[in-house]
Amino acid sequence: MQSNKTKRSKSINLVSMRKSFSVKPLALGIAAIFLTACGDDQDAAVFTSVDDCTNANPEFAAKCKTAYEDAVKEAERTGPKYNSQSDCETEFGNNQCRVVQRDSGSFFMPLMAGYMLSNLMSPRGYYSQPMFTSHSRNSSYRNRWIGADGHDFGDNRRRTMKVSEKSLKPKPTVTKTMSRGGFGSSVRAKSSWGSSSKKGGWGG
Amino acid sequence: MLRVAIPERANWKRKAEEFGFKFHTMHGEAYWDESAYYQFSLEQIEQDLEAPTEDIHKMCLAVVDKVVNSEELLEKFQIPQHFWQQISDSWKNQDPSLYSRLDFAYHGKGPAKLYENNADTPTSLYESGFWQWLWLEEQVNAGKIAKQADQFNSLQEKLVHRLAAIAKHYDISQMHFACCQDTDEDRGTVQYLQDCAKESGLSDDFVFIEDIGLAECGSFSDLQDNKIETLFKLYPWEFMQREEFGQSIKNAQVNWLEPIWKSILSNKALMPMLWKMFPNHPNLLAAYFEDELSKATETKLVKKPIFSREGANISVIENGKTVLHADGPYGEEGFIYQAYYPLPQFGNNHTLIGSWLVNDQAAGISLREDSSPITQDMSRYLPHIIL
């Protein structure tokens, strides 16, 4: 592998390497709880409006509309919430936030940028969820489809995607995990040994 | 190979905060140290480190191929019998590996000598792939280091590509990542791989090793009860194989990173096997299993546990007497012996070179300094340049 070309990574996207939201939201939305799915990924599509959906699926115009309305409600319920407009705009971009009034007071939320739909044709019923995106240069969400809990669904130029069943199931009530804690006992044993591993890491 | 002093960047701790590098100082002592850097020539990098790294990796794979087919050797490697078939299957299926780090003693000339292969759970990945890259970028922009300076560090680029290739191999679009609780360093390493996975178009989920669940259908699950389909685990195979859920690994049908065949490489028994198969190779040190110690002609040997991390339980033995010893919780599975070969010294510092591989490609180096000849977990990390 001898060569004279540069020997280091050509470029690294520094924005995407930043860890802290420049400003932390009050609430990060509710991360949905899902069933242990032993099944496969599903096809999903993102639409930016009811018309966008209807144009793609003329036979499902009514579903496009109800799914949109569901997503709007879900967006308000679970989307990220900020104390001030400027906090919200730092993350999502100028003019991308709106004020929401509640009994408990007012806060700021990003505008819904689209909604994800899957199983539109299924007799068992479709599933929809709100999508957000950021126009802010300083945000790792810039030009990405982002779910209410901050899940990154990829580049926002993409309109169709495979998503795991878990990102579609909204609120299952059953868990099928039988037991936990079956890994990690060696660490507890070795940690109690004493002072050598001061850091407590188990890499090498 | 030179050690060159340089002023620290004035704002580096704030930068570290911003980028989430939380473990630059551990237990009140510096871990990331940018008061100096190491300088290499391109020749030193390419001929003495890059090429031998890829050669040794090939030799290591030859060892795996031999060991998976021998019950006697699997026993010598202290691998529980329950996993022999799984390891052999994983090797024959060519389950893809992500990365490894070879540790070398190198004096700036002559052959670099292999100390060991961290093939299963290597850390200091973030510092190497990203943080020292950023350091060079900023020191060059500030005019503190020559413009033409380079760095042997294509780690991040290669990790992103490799993760995409692994996703394609398994036909997946999501990966789980796991490490143990209560360690900023391991969490930071895993977060870095999550970032690389995102960059390669994958979605990522995290679960602590201790929180992994066993689901009704035999799958492993995360705390949200999602099935774990593919798991990068910064947790040693030799631990997992001996724990309660070890028996469930086979039925759980997980795409593992690293794959289970790496149990053979992240094992100090690798060292005597390499010496048997490639005797007198310039990059190898003579090494012996405990039961063949009588063959050793060296007067000074290093005794290492078959399983150990961060220099724990290593002793230096001279004419049968222990002259230096590092404590630790390892050693119950036995030891191997390796010819003593000192690290180079720069002032009071003993310097170890970690040479990274992403799959089978050499991808960069990292440097650790320790005040003791045995590099341990409190050694400091220094950046490097090529000039």
| Residues A125-166 pLDDT 10s | 777 889 999 998 878 888 999 888 777 888 888 888 777 655
pLDDT at B354 over 70: yes
**CB contacts, 8 Å: B228 with chain A:** none
Do the Cβ atoms of B215 and A194 come within 8 Å?
no
Has residue A27 been placed in a domain? no
Q: Does A185 touch chain B (CB under 8 A)?
A: yes
Cβ-defined contact of B378 to A162 (cutoff 8 Å): no
Whether residue A88 contacts residue A109, with contact meaning beta carbons closer than 8 Å, is answered with yes
Show which of residues 37-76 on chain A sit within 8 Å of chain B, judged by CB atoms: 37-38, 41
Mark yes or no for CB contact A201/B186 under 8 Å. yes
Residues B323 and B378 in one domain: no
Please state the length of chain B: 387
Q: What token pair was written down for A47?
A: 């639409």
Q: Which domain holds residue A46?
A: 41-178
B322 and B375 inside one domain: no
| Contact (Cβ atoms closer than 8 angstroms) between residue A89 and residue A107 | no
Per-residue model confidence (pLDDT) at position A185: 87
Chain B residues whose beta carbon lies within 8 Å of the beta carbon of residue A2:
46-47, 50-51
Residues B199 and B220 in one domain: yes
Give the number of domains in chain A: 1
Residue A124 has a pLDDT of 67
Same domain, B179 and B107: yes
Q: Any chain A CB within 8 A of the CB of B51?
A: yes
Interval B231-269: pLDDT, tens: 999 999 999 999 999 999 999 999 999 999 999 999 999
Which residue in chain A is spatially nearest to B311 when comparing CA positions?
A204
B45 lies in the same domain as B130: yes
Q: A180, B179: Cβ pair inside 8 Å?
A: no
Task: Please indicate, yes or no, whether residues B6 and B151 belong to a single structural domain of this protein.
Answer: yes
Q: How far apart are the first and last CA of chain B?
A: 10
Candidates A14, A15, A33, A36: best to mutate against B (most CBs of B within 10 A) is A36
Per residue in B312-339, pLDDT (tens digit) is: 788 999 988 988 888 887 778 899 999 9
3-state SS of chain B is CEEEECCCCCCHHHHHHHHCCCCCEECCEECECCCEEEEECHHHHHHHHHHHHHHHHHHHHHHHHHHCCCHHHHHHCCCCHHHHHHHHHHHHCCCCCCEEEEEEECCCCCCCEEEEEECCCCCCHHHHHHHHHHHHHHHHHCCCCCCCCECCECHHHHHHHHHHHHHHHHCCCEEEEEECCCCHHHHHHHHHHHHHHHHCCCEEEEEEHHHCEEECCCCEECCCCCECCEEEECCCHHHHCCCHHHHHHHHHCCEEECCHHHHHCCCCCHHHHHHHHCCCCCCCCCEEEHHHHHHCCCCEEEEEECCCCCCCCCEEEECCEEEEECCCCCCCCCEEEEECCCCCEECCEEEEEEEEEECCEEEEEEEEEECCCCCCCCCEEECEEEC
Q: Does the distance separating the beta carbons of B377 and A8 come in below 8 Å?
A: no
The larger pLDDT score, comparing residue B215 to residue B177, is at: B177
| B276 located within any domain | no
One domain for residues B208 and B263: yes
Whether A33 has a pLDDT exceeding 60, the answer reads: no
Classify residue A12: in a domain, yes or no: no
Interface size, chain A vs chain B, as Cβ–Cβ contacts under 8 Å: 230
How far is the alpha carbon of B23 from chain A, nearest alpha carbon, in Å? 10
- Cβ distance B18 to A162 less than 8 Å, yes or no, reads no
Task: Select from B339, B356, B371 the last residue of a domain.
Answer: B339
A164: which chain B residues are within 8 Å (Cβ-Cβ)?
A: 173-174, 203, 226
Residue A187 forms part of a structural domain: no
At residue A123, the pLDDT reads: 67
B211 with A180: Cβ contact below 8 A: yes
pLDDT tens digits, one per residue of A48-68: 999 999 998 888 898 899 999
**What percentage of residues in chain A have a pLDDT greater than 70?**
72
> For testing the chain A interface, which of B140, B224, B253 should be mutated: the one with the most A CBs within 10 Å?
B224
| Residue A185: inside a domain | no
Instruction: For residue B37, give its domain range.
Output: 2-22+30-267+344-386
Q: How many domains does chain B have?
A: 2
Q: Are residues B326 and B221 in the same domain?
A: no
Residue B170 lies in a domain: yes
Question: Per the CB < 8 Å rule, is B20 touching A197?
Answer: no
Q: How far is A110 from chain B (nearest CA, A)?
A: 22
Give the pLDDT mean for A63-88.
87
**Matching residue, tokens 């209560």:** B182
A interface test, pick of B121, B156, B332 with most A CB neighbours within 10 Å: B156
Residues B262 and B295 in one domain: no
pLDDT for position B226: 87
Structure-model confidence comparison of residues A181 and B246, the more confident one: B246
Q: Do the domain assignments include residue A75?
A: yes
Q: Can you give the length of chain A in residues?
A: 204
Q: Quick one: closest CA in B to A166, which residue?
A: B226
Closest CA to B229 of B238, B218, B237: B218
Q: Do B225 and A176 touch (CB under 8 A)?
A: yes
For A99, the 3-state DSSP assignment is: strand
Q: What is the model's pLDDT at position B24?
A: 94
- For residue B226, the chain A residues in CB contact (below 8 A) are 34, 36-37, 164, 166
Between positions 6 and 35 of A, the ones with CB within 8 A of B are 6-10, 12-14, 16-20, 31-35
Instruction: Say yes or no: B171 contacts chain A, CB-CB below 8 A.
Output: no
Is A32 inside a domain boundary? no
Q: How confident is the model at residue A2 (pLDDT cuts 50, 70, 90)?
A: very low
Same domain, B179 and B300: no
Structural domain includes residue B156: yes
Residues B250 and B354 in one domain: yes
Do the domain assignments include residue B201? yes
Do the Cβ atoms of A36 and B361 come within 8 Å? no
Minimum-distance CB partner of B122 among A16, A199, A203: A203
Quick one: pLDDT at residue A1? 47
The confidence score (pLDDT) of residue A38 equals 41
The answer to whether residue A114 sits within a structural domain is yes
Name every chain B residue with its beta carbon within 8 A of the beta carbon of A20: 17-18, 20
Interchain contact B242–A (C-beta under 8 A):
yes
Band (pLDDT 50/70/90 cuts) for residue B374 is confident
Q: Which of A186, A190, A198 to mutate to test the interface with B (most CBs of B within 10 A)?
A: A186
B185·A201 Cβ contact <8 A = yes
* Co-location of B171 and B293 in the same domain: no
